[in-house]
Structures are given as structure tokens and as C-alpha cells.
Amino acid sequence: MARWKARVRELKTEVQALLLAYRDNRVPLKAKIVAALVVAYAVSPIDLIPDFIPILGYLDDLILLPLGIMLAVKMIPADVMQECRAKADAALPGKKSSVIMGTVMIIVLWMAIIVAAVNFSSKMVPWRSFIPIEVQRLLHVDLPCSPAETPSAPLPPLH
């Protein structure tokens, strides 16, 4: 059990070091992009495979995260990565502001993606087409009808 805890602490330190490397000007742009994606995946509350699925849920965390860290570390210059690891090790264990801020940013990003998807899908299939014309008239809603629902003669007003 102590071995697992040490490995988890090492992964947390690596993720924090990648965050520090992302902010460093000496890191190439491609490495910054990979580091940002790895850090975002590490702090994201949304996984590729949800954790509640037995075995597979944790498999993505056990495989994808270390692979992403290895890829990002290979792309970052060794001297920069060592400095960032030293800074990450020296960071106070109680200092969680950057993790909380990162989590908030990831949640906001996911919410923006969901809003954009809903907005895009509503333009593809207007929600108004699902409301029957009688209900629209009953609610006194003046919504455009689809050509199939357009009455040939105006209907008398409802009282």
C-alpha cells in the first residue's frame, strides 16, 4: 500500500512539474500543448472512461496519464524539467490553490463545450418544430412553423 501511495505522490509531483514547465518560456510550443493536455486530463473531473465502470474505469488513469506524462517529459528540455520537479517537490503539500483553480478552469471549459454543443444542435434541429401548433396557439406563442404545419387558411383566434 505504501508503494501505491508513493507512486500516486510521484504522479502528482510530475503533474505539478508539468504545470510549471508549461509556464516556462524555455519550453517549446508543442511540448507546452502536450503538457497542458496532460495536466487538464489529470485534474479534469470527467474521464475518458468513467471510474464507476469496474476495472476499465481506473485503467485509463493507470495507463493514459503515465503515458501522457512520459510523452510530455520527453518533449521538455531535461534541465527545465529538473528545475520544475525541484519546484514541485518544494511546494507546500497544503497548497491546493493551483489544483482548485485548474479544476475550476476545466469545469468551465467542459461547460462551454456543452453550451456550444447544445447551441449547435438547436440550430440543426429547431426545438420549436417539436411543439405542436395547437400548443403554440394556446400559449399565444408566435413561433415560425415548418412548411408541413403551415395552415392553408388563418384559424380563428382562441378565447
CB-CB contact of 69 with 11 (8 Å): yes
Asked whether residue 80 falls in the same domain as residue 103, the answer is no
Look at residue 111 and tell me if it is in a domain: yes
Quote the domain boundaries for residue 104: 97-145
Does residue 113 share a domain with residue 38? no
In terms of domains, do 136 and 85 share one?
Answer: no
13 shares a domain with 82: yes
Domain co-membership, 60 together with 121: no
Q: Please write the tens of the pLDDT for every residue from 20-69.
A: 999 899 999 999 999 988 888 887 767 667 767 777 777 777 788 889 99
Cα–Cα distance, 147 to 34 (Å, whole number): 49
Same domain, 89 and 102: no
What is the per-residue pLDDT for 29? 92
Asked whether residue 154 is assigned to any structural domain, the reply reads: no
Q: Do residues 89 and 104 both lie within one domain?
A: no
Answer whether residue 26 is part of any domain: yes
> Residue range 77-81: average pLDDT?
92
Q: Which amino acid is at 67?
A: L
The verdict on residue 55 lying in a domain is yes
Structurally, the chain folds into a number of domains equal to 2
Residue 70 has pLDDT above 60, yes or no: yes
